[in-house]
Amino acid sequence: MSYRAKSERAFEAARQFLVGGVNSPVRAYQAVGGVPPVIASGRGCRIQDVDGNEYIDWVGSWGPLIVGHRHPDVVAALRQVIEERGVSFGAPTELETELASRVVEAVPSIERIRFVNSGTEATMSAIRLARGATGRDAILKFEGCYHGHSDGLLVEAGSGAATLGHPNSPGVPEAISALTAVLPYNDLERVREFGEQHGERIAAILVEPVAGNMGLVLPEPGYLEGLRECCDRWGSLLVFDEVMTGFRVARGGAQERWGVRPDLTVLGKIVGGGLPVAAYGGPATLMDQISPAGPIYQAGTLSGNPLGMAAGCATLDLVARPGFYEGLEETGRAFEEGLREAAASNGVPVQVNRAGAMLGLFFSKDPVKDFSRSAATDDAAFRTFFHSMLEQGVYLPPSRFETFFLSSVHGPDDIEATVRAADVAFGRCRAS
Ligand code: KE4
């Protein structure tokens, strides 16, 4: 009997009621094939499936769990809300101010903030604010960057010169996607050329300052600074989507690490410690144009939810501790070097890209600096590697277009076990 018999049965049962058996597509394992383990529990950096198999978890709920599963401080904060306060009021609570003050203290470009419930909602709202504040309709995003599933962002690169987007999903009207221009990531010359003709129509440039949704791709030297200059020249707003990088690549996010100040910042994942929390923020002069302070509407029944605020506060208090990011850097370096050595000793050409506690692995002998290069990497090799690692108890993101997420509770033993498994898995890749 398969070592995943209960997962197979549980996933079959899920498919009866849940579309594709999941509540978010990537979890269905379509990019790698096979049945996903159905997870029963997690603690620290390890998770267990319903068959009792244990895995070292390098997904961490896609980024939120930078202090691992069920950190005692997070559990205690949630327990206190449940036992002494209540789970939702739809009214002002001090917990919202508590979390907001922690974000403002950590991210200098944020003076005022609005909490929402997902990264999608946060980027959608930030774009509405940029449009309302500039009086312009068009936005510019980059190929391979993902900002959630709002209509205007489910857009792929247009044909050639036009560069205005076309829908990449049924249900998205051409009229909406035509307002979104799409250019290759890391190509500043193309942005400058685009700006000569279209710059004055652009409300915002929206970018993942470190791209984590085409695999992990770092900004080229000067790229983010160049986007800042373009926005200043065009009169457009620079919006950093730091849903993934916020509190991960540095306490102040990529804007702190690269020293480039956006006009608006989008946060998610870590800011809610695993609960459904996201946010957008920036200078009061911009943010106070959002209702009820200003005319641009945005609302949400469960925004600022006490459970999410409590988990977020506990998590941000942990990341604020002295040495937290130095420890993550140490783990990241050991993981990166271990993967490189394991691949090299098996003669498998790979690229390992890393920014602090987020890491990407590409099966390619050439550097990966944009989506077209990422799409050209060896998918079959990734799938072989992925399944070998899973069988050996290492839980990786099930797509070469995703990112590995490190936590403060991954220790040397976890790195060593992962690298040992990678040595076997790279051997399988070479053999196949
Ligand atoms: P959500 O709406 O899924 O909370 O956030 C959307 C989003 C926005 N911006 C960035 C940079 C993101 O990475 C995301 C979501 N990330 C994916 C991982 N590639 C979440 C996993 C999933 O879609 O299930």
The answer to whether residues 409 and 427 belong to one domain is yes
How would DSSP label each residue in 160-229?
TTT-B-EESSTT--HHHHTTEEEE-TT-HHHHHHHHHHHGGGEEEEEE-SSB-SSS-BPPPTTHHHHHHH
Task: Give me the pLDDT at residue 167, please.
Answer: 82
- Residue 402: which pLDDT band, with cuts at 50, 70 and 90? very high
The answer to whether residues 26 and 171 belong to one domain is no
Distance between terminal CA atoms of the chain?
Answer: 26
233 Cα to the center of ligand 1, angstroms:
30
Domain limit, last residue, from 319, 335, 365: 319
The answer to whether residues 95 and 242 belong to one domain is yes
Q: In CATH, what number is assigned to the domain containing residue 330?
A: 3.90.1150.10
Residue nearest to atom 24 of ligand 1 (CA): 24
Residue 246 Cβ inside 6 Å of ligand 1? The answer reads no
In tens, the pLDDT along 270-317 reads 999 999 999 999 999 999 999 999 999 999 999 999 999 999 999 999
Residue position matching structure tokens 């290492």: 394
Task: Give me the pLDDT at residue 1, please.
Answer: 58
Domain limit, last residue, from 296, 319, 342: 319
The answer to whether residues 12 and 95 belong to one domain is no
Task: Indicate if 413 belongs to the active site.
Answer: no
423 Cα to the center of ligand 1, angstroms:
30
The answer to whether residues 99 and 174 belong to one domain is yes
In tens, the pLDDT along 202-256 reads 999 999 999 999 999 999 999 999 999 999 999 999 999 999 999 999 999 999 9
Kindly report the backbone phi and psi dihedral angles of residue 296, in degrees, each rounded to the nearest multiple of 5, phi listed first. -85, 120
Give yes or no for a contact between 138 and 165, defined as CB atoms under 8 angstroms apart. Answer: no
Total domains present in the chain:
2
Q: Which of 6, 269, 280, 414 is catalytic?
A: 269
The answer to whether residues 15 and 140 belong to one domain is no
Domain limit, last residue, from 289, 304, 319: 319
At residue 128, does pLDDT exceed 70? yes
Please state, rounded to an integer, the average pLDDT across all residues of the chain: 96
Residue in 61, 62, 116 to alter for ligand 1 test, most ligand atoms within 8 A of Cβ: 62
The answer to whether residues 51 and 173 belong to one domain is no
The answer to whether residues 283 and 221 belong to one domain is yes
Q: In CATH, what number is assigned to the domain containing residue 297?
A: 3.40.640.10
Region 341-357 average pLDDT: 98
* Ligand 1 atom nearest to 401, measured from its CA: 19
* 230: Cβ contacts below 8 Å, ≥ 6 apart: 191, 192, 195, 199, 205, 236
Task: Give me the pLDDT at residue 163, please.
Answer: 62
At residue 159, does pLDDT exceed 90? no
* 273: Cβ contacts below 8 Å, ≥ 6 apart: 64, 65, 67, 74, 308, 311, 312, 314, 315, 316
- Residue 153: which pLDDT band, with cuts at 50, 70 and 90? very high
Q: Which of 241, 263, 378, 414 is catalytic?
A: 241
340 Cα to the center of ligand 1, angstroms:
27
The answer to whether residues 167 and 47 belong to one domain is no
At residue 161, does pLDDT exceed 70? no
CA 49, chain centre distance (Å): 24
At residue 31, does pLDDT exceed 60? yes
* Ligand 1 atom nearest to 145, measured from its CA: 11
Residue nearest to atom 18 of ligand 1 (CA): 62
The answer to whether residues 310 and 336 belong to one domain is no
Task: Give me the pLDDT at residue 3, please.
Answer: 84
Domain hosting residue 333, numbered range: 5-70+323-431
Task: Indicate if 269 belongs to the active site.
Answer: yes
Give yes or no for a contact between 368 and 217, defined as CB atoms under 8 angstroms apart. Answer: yes
344 Cα to the center of ligand 1, angstroms:
32
At residue 430, does pLDDT exceed 80? yes
In tens, the pLDDT along 169-185 reads 999 999 999 999 999 99
Region 23-46 average pLDDT: 97
In tens, the pLDDT along 300-312 reads 999 999 999 999 9
Torsion of CA 288, 293, 295, 296, to 10 degrees: 50
Task: Give me the pLDDT at residue 38, please.
Answer: 98
Residue 268 Cβ inside 6 Å of ligand 1? The answer reads yes
Task: Give me the pLDDT at residue 174, please.
Answer: 92
Residue nearest to atom 20 of ligand 1 (CA): 62
At residue 162, does pLDDT exceed 90? no
The answer to whether residues 282 and 342 belong to one domain is no
Please indicate whether residue 432 or residue 257 has the higher confidence score (pLDDT): 257
Residue nearest to atom 21 of ligand 1 (CA): 62
The answer to whether residues 59 and 81 belong to one domain is no
Q: Which of 55, 146, 223, 280 is catalytic?
A: 146
Residue 62 Cβ inside 6 Å of ligand 1? The answer reads yes
Residue 120 Cβ inside 6 Å of ligand 1? The answer reads yes
